[in-house]
Structure 1
Amino acid sequence: MVAMIASACINWVAATIKMISLTSSPSYHDATMHHRFQVSSRAVDGGFGKVGPSEGGDQTARSEVSTAPLNPLGRRTCCRGGAKRRGGDEMKIEEVQSASKKQRIATHTHIKGLGLDANGNAIPLSAGFVGQGSAREAAGIVVDMIRQKKMAGRALLLAGPPSTGKTALALGISQDLGSKVPFCPMVGSEVYSSEVKKTEVLMENFRRAIGLRIKETKEVYEGEVTELSPEESENSTGGYGKSISHIIIGLKTVKGTKQLKLDPTIYDALIKEKVAVGDVIYIEANSGAVKRVGRCDAFATEFDLEAEEYVPIPKGEVHKKKEIVQDVTLHDLDAANAHPQGGQDILSLMGQMMKPRKTEITDKLRQEINKVVNRYIDEGIAELVPGVLFIDEVHMLDIECFSYLNRALESSISPIVIFATNRGICNVRGTDMTSPHGIPVDLLDRLVIIRTETYGPTEMIQILAIRAQVEEIDIDEDSLAYLGEMGQQASLRHAIQLLSPASIVAKTNGRDKICKADLEEVTSLYLDAKSSARLLQEQQERYIT
C-alpha cells in the first residue's frame, strides 16, 4: 500500500514538472495567443469575424471589428461595435457630474454693482439694475466719497415705497466698494436682546464696520514642500523614548530649492496645519509661524473629487522679504482681547466646554484698543478703513437707539451709516411723537436722503426677465407681460415668487417653457396680499376677531 502511494506521488511530481516546462516555453505562449486571438480574413476586411475561445470558456462572441492595429497583446485598440461584458450585457459608460458648489440663488443674487459708466451716469440696464437712475447716481457719488475717506461719520437714508430696490441699492454700494471695505448689514429689530443692551449691539456693529489694514514686512521661507522628515534623537532624560531634535524640510520655487533645518518647536505647527509633501507653505523666520497656502496645482489632476485649494508654485527665491497685509475689524480686536484663551487648569477647561453667555465689552477695553490703533496709525504700521454699516428697517429702532446714534456719529472713529425704511409719517417707537419715516427730527437733520421711485410696467418686465435668467427659467414674452401686470396689481415680489411654481407646473404639463396658462393656474392657487385683504373684508364674519 505504501509503495503504491509513493509511486503515485512520484508520477504526479513528474507530470507537474513537465507541465511547468511546457508552459514556460515561448512556443506554447505563441500558440496559445494565436489560438485565442485568431481573426478571420473577413474581419480584417471590415466584416464580422468569429473570435476564438475567450478566457471565460468556449463561448464565441460576434462583434464588429475595425481594422485598427493590434496592441502588444494582440487586442485591437478600438472597436466600432458595442462593448460586451462576459454576461452578454452592454458595458455602460456614464459621465461623472461635477461636484462644484453652485451658488445659492437669493433675492438679490443678480445685483453685481450700481451699473454706472466712467462719468458716473446710470446705464439703463446694467449690473442687474433696472431704472432708479437718479438714486443710483446719488449712490455712486457716495461710493466715491467713501473711497476718498470723506464720508466717515456721515449718514445716508434710502427712503421709498416697498419693492423699490432700497436693499438692492445698498448691496450695489457694497459690490462697488469691493471686499476690502467692511460692509456690515443688520436689521433694526436685531438690537433687542435679553442678554446685552441695545446700545451695546449698535456699538458692536459700528466696530464691525470699521476696518484696520495692518502692513508688516517679514522675512519668510516660501515654496512647495518636497521633503519633510523629522530627525529623532535619544531622550536626554533617559528611558526608552525618543525626542525630535530637528526637522529637515525642502522647499521649491520657480527659481530654485532650499533645504532647511528647523527647530523642533515648529513641528507642532506643521502638524496643526496638516502640511504634507506637495503643499505650498510659508514659514516666518522670526516667529516660526507656519501658514499652509494650499496644494500645488501640479497635483490638481491627482483626484477627481477634491476639496483642496490649488495654488501655483511660488515665484522668486525661497527666502524672501514679504509684505504681509492683514485686514481686521475693530470688533475682531475687541473680541480677541475680551475673551482671551484660558489656562490649562480644570476651571478654565470647564468654562470653555460650557456654553458661553454673551457678555458686553466694556468701554475701558475699547478705549485701550483705540489707543493701540492710534499708535499703529501714527507709526505707519496700520491704516484705518472706514466701512459701511447698513441698518435696514430703521423705523424699528426706539428713541434710546436714535439718541445713541446721534452721539456715535459724532465720534472720531465711526463708519458710514446707511439707513433704509419704507415708512411714511408715523410714530417714533417708544414715544407718542409723530415724525417722517419714524425717525426723530434731530437725526433727520444729519441725514442725506436718497429717494427711490416705484417701478413702471416696462421696468418690471425687465426685472422679471433678469430673475428668470438667474433662476434658469425659460419663459415666453406673453407670460412676462402677464407677470408684469400681476406686479402692477399686487407687487413685484409676488410676481417674482410666481416664477418657480409656474416652472414646476410647466414641467408637469410636459413643457420646458412657461406659458400664460401655467401662470393663470398658479395665480388661481396663490393669493397676493391685496387679494387676501379684500377677501378678509368680504368674509370677516367667518373669522375670529
Structure 2
Amino acid sequence: MSGRPSTSSTPVAHNALPPPSTTSASRSSRIAPHSHIKGLGLNPEGYANVDSAGFIGQTNAREACGVVVDLVKSRKFSGRALLLVGAPGTGKTALALAISQELGTKVPFCPMVGSEVYSTEVKKTEVLAEAFRRAIGLRIKETKEVYEGEVTELTPTEAENPLSGYGKTVSHVIVGLKTVKGTKQLRLDPSIYESILKEKITVGDVIYIEANTGAVKRVGRSDAYASSYDLESETYVPLPKADVHKRKELVQDVTLGDLDAANARPQGGQDIMSVMGSLMKSGRTEVTEKLRKEVNKVVKGYVDQGVAEVVPGVVFIDEVHMLDIECFTYLNALLESPMAPTVILATNRGNSLVRGTTDIVAPHGIPIDLLDRCLIVKTDSYTTADVAKVVQVRANVEGLKLGTGVLDKLAGEGDRSSLRYALQLLTPASILATIAGREQIELEDINEMGSLFIDAKTSASSITTSETYLS
C-alpha cells in the first residue's frame, strides 16, 4: 500500500516515531474499559444469552442481576443492597454498569470507590450522603404556554439609542414561526433577541418560546434541511404538528444532589469583593441535615401535587472493603431511608479485618449486620476460551486486526497471569505493528510487548528472588 513503509527483515526499534496519519478522518474518540458493555444480554424469560451485549460468560451472575433489575423496576428492592464478589478482572464493574443501562438512560447512576470517603474537606458520612443524593432523580413536569415552530423569519428592528446620540439599539425583533397547521408572526422584546443570539438560532431551526418567562429553547434543525451525510453534527427534528401557540408539557430531570448544592451555595453580590470571596472558598460545601430536610419537604410537596416524580437511581461503591466501621454504620441508616436508591457494592476480598476495628474479622471486610441486608452474587473466573473471546471483543471495539496465532497467545497469557494483562498488551502491540507497516497485530509484536511489559506475578516473583539472593 502506498503511504506505508514496506515490511523488511530488519527489526524496528520499539521507540521509533510512528508514521504520520494519512487519513484526516481518523478515529479520535476515547474508548473506555467497558465501552463494549451494552446491557446484561438476557432474553425475555430472564435467561442469559450466550456471549451477548458485550458479556462473555458470567451466566449465573447476569441472570441474578436480571432478577435485581426486575425488583428495582417494581420498587421492591428498597432497604437492600446487591453485593458483587469475585476475583479482580471478573466483570464486577461491568455488571454494575449493565444494571444501570438496563434500568434506562434517564436513571441516575453514581459510581464511586470506597477510598473516596477519606476527603480532607468534608466528613466521610457527608461524602456517602452526597453520593446517595446524586443517585436520586427528580423528574419535574410543567405545563406551560409556549410558541413553538420552525423559524421562518428573524428580523431585528433598530431605533436610535435614547441614552446617547450615537449608535442604535434593537427596539424589538420580528420572529416568524411555522407548524404543519399554520404560521404566526411574533413581535418580541429585545431581551428575547439576546437569548436567540445566545442559543445561535437561525432561520430553519425549530424552537419554542415560553409565553410567561420569554425563555427561548432550541429543539433542533428542521428535518426539511436534513442532508444525506452519514455523519451529522446537527440534530434534525420534524416540523411541529399543532398550532404555533399552545400549551406544552415540559420535562426536566435533576437530582436531589443538584438541589442540595444549589441551596447550599447562596449567590453573593456582583461586586469584585464578592467574586474574590467566592474564589477563595473551599471547592466543596458540606450540606447540613437541616437543609436536606427542607429540600425533601419541598420535593414531597411537588410529588403530592403531581408536578414531580422521584426516580431512584443506582449508587455503585467499588472496593467497598475500603470503608470503615463508621461508614458501614451510616450505610445501614441510609439504606433504611424512604428515598434510598439502589445500592450495588463490589469487593474482591475474602475474610478480612473490618477497617477501623482491631478485632472484627468478617466476610469481605463488611460487618455482618450490613451483609444480612445484601443479596450476594459471585462472579466466576474466566477459562482460556473465555479470555480469547473477551480479547476478540475488545479488539473489535478498538478496531484492531489480529494475525494468525495472536488470539491463542493472548488467551494463554491471560490464563497464566490475568485477563487485564492480556488486554493491556493489545494497544501497544498495535502501535508496534503500525510502526512496522503492518495492518494487523502479529505474534512477534505480542512477543516483544511481553518482553517490554511483564505481568504482576512475574514482577512479584522477580523481586522476591532478588530479595532472597541479597539476604
Common topology (TM > 0.5): yes
Quick check: 1:500 aligned with 2:427? yes
How far residue 411 of structure 1 moved from its aligned partner, in angstroms, is 1.2
Quick check: 1:186 aligned with 2:112? yes
> What TM-score, normalized by structure 1, do the two folds share?
0.77
For residues 194 and 382 of structure 2, what CA distance do their matches in structure 1 show? 60
Question: Partner residue of 1:74?
Answer: none
The answer to whether the Cα contact below 8 Å between 1:506 and 1:513 also exists between their aligned partners in 2 is yes
Question: Partner residue of 2:277?
Answer: 351
Question: Partner residue of 1:429?
Answer: 355
Quick check: 1:157 aligned with 2:83? yes
How far residue 261 of structure 1 moved from its aligned partner, in angstroms, is 1.5
Quick check: 1:269 aligned with 2:195? yes
How far residue 152 of structure 1 moved from its aligned partner, in angstroms, is 2.8
Question: Partner residue of 1:50?
Answer: none
The answer to whether the Cα contact below 8 Å between 1:217 and 1:323 also exists between their aligned partners in 2 is yes
Q: Please, which of 105, 113, 116 is the counterpart of residue 39 of structure 2?
A: 113
Computed over aligned residues only, the root mean square deviation of the Cα atoms, in angstroms, reads: 2.6
Question: Partner residue of 2:216?
Answer: 290
For residues 25 and 246 of structure 2, what CA distance do their matches in structure 1 show? 39
How far residue 517 of structure 1 moved from its aligned partner, in angstroms, is 3.3
Q: Please, which of 455, 461, 465 is the counterpart of residue 534 of structure 1?
A: 461
Structure 1 letter corresponding to 2:316? F
Question: Partner residue of 1:166?
Answer: 92
The answer to whether the Cα contact below 8 Å between 2:354 and 2:367 also exists between their aligned partners in 1 is yes
Question: Partner residue of 1:30?
Answer: none
The answer to whether the Cα contact below 8 Å between 2:83 and 2:375 also exists between their aligned partners in 1 is yes
Question: Partner residue of 2:323?
Answer: 397
Structure 2 letter corresponding to 1:411? S
- The percentage of counterpart residues that share the same residue type is 62
Structure 1 letter corresponding to 2:449? V
How far residue 150 of structure 1 moved from its aligned partner, in angstroms, is 1.7
For residues 307 and 133 of structure 1, what CA distance do their matches in structure 2 show? 39
For residues 227 and 463 of structure 1, what CA distance do their matches in structure 2 show? 55
Structure 2 letter corresponding to 1:366? R
The answer to whether the Cα contact below 8 Å between 1:152 and 1:386 also exists between their aligned partners in 2 is no
Quick check: 1:177 aligned with 2:103? yes
The answer to whether the Cα contact below 8 Å between 1:398 and 1:428 also exists between their aligned partners in 2 is yes
Q: Where do 1:275-424 residues align within 5 Å?
A: 275-299=201-225, 308-354=234-280, 356-424=282-350
Structure 1 letter corresponding to 2:73? R
For residues 183 and 124 of structure 1, what CA distance do their matches in structure 2 show? 26
Quick check: 1:462 aligned with 2:395? no
Question: Partner residue of 1:141?
Answer: 67
Question: Partner residue of 1:28?
Answer: none
Question: Partner residue of 2:12?
Answer: none
Q: 1:458 to 1:242 in 2, by over 3 A?
A: closer
Please give the per-residue CA displacement for 1:205-261, whole angstroms capped at 9, x wherever unaligned.
Answer: 100000111111112111222222233456677866765443221112233221011
Larger CA deviation: 308-317 vs 171-180: 308-317
The answer to whether the Cα contact below 8 Å between 1:280 and 1:295 also exists between their aligned partners in 2 is yes
Q: 1:317 to 1:386 in 2, by over 3 A?
A: same
Question: Partner residue of 2:3?
Answer: none
Larger CA deviation: 340-349 vs 135-144: 340-349
Larger CA deviation: 521-530 vs 160-169: 521-530
Please give the per-residue CA displacement for 1:92-149, whole angstroms capped at 9, x wherever unaligned.
Answer: xxx98448x7532121111111010010000111001011111100000111111122
Structure 1 letter corresponding to 2:421? H
Question: Partner residue of 2:450?
Answer: 523
For residues 397 and 135 of structure 2, what CA distance do their matches in structure 1 show? 30
For residues 231 and 89 of structure 2, what CA distance do their matches in structure 1 show? 42
Structure 1 letter corresponding to 2:410? L
Question: Partner residue of 2:54?
Answer: 128
Q: Please, which of 444, 447, 458 is the counterpart of residue 374 of structure 2?
A: 447
Q: 1:102 to 1:503 in 2, by over 3 A?
A: closer
Structure 2 SS opposite 1:423: coil
How far residue 390 of structure 1 moved from its aligned partner, in angstroms, is 0.3
How far residue 286 of structure 1 moved from its aligned partner, in angstroms, is 1.8
Structure 1 letter corresponding to 2:263? N
For residues 261 and 279 of structure 1, what CA distance do their matches in structure 2 show? 18
Structure 2 letter corresponding to 1:370? N
Larger RCO: Structure 1 or Structure 2 (Cα < 8 Å, ≥ 6 residues apart)? 2
Structure 1 SS opposite 2:156: strand
Please give the per-residue CA displacement for 1:409-449, whole angstroms capped at 9, x wherever unaligned.
Answer: 11111111100000111111111121110111111111110
How far residue 352 of structure 1 moved from its aligned partner, in angstroms, is 4.3
For residues 452 and 212 of structure 1, what CA distance do their matches in structure 2 show? 33
The answer to whether the Cα contact below 8 Å between 1:149 and 1:386 also exists between their aligned partners in 2 is no
Q: 1:340 to 1:282 in 2, by over 3 A?
A: farther
Q: Please, which of 460, 467, 471 is the counterpart of residue 398 of structure 2?
A: 471
Larger CA deviation: 450-459 vs 264-273: 264-273
Equivalent residue pairs, number:
449
Structure 1 letter corresponding to 2:419? L
Structure 2 letter corresponding to 1:117? N
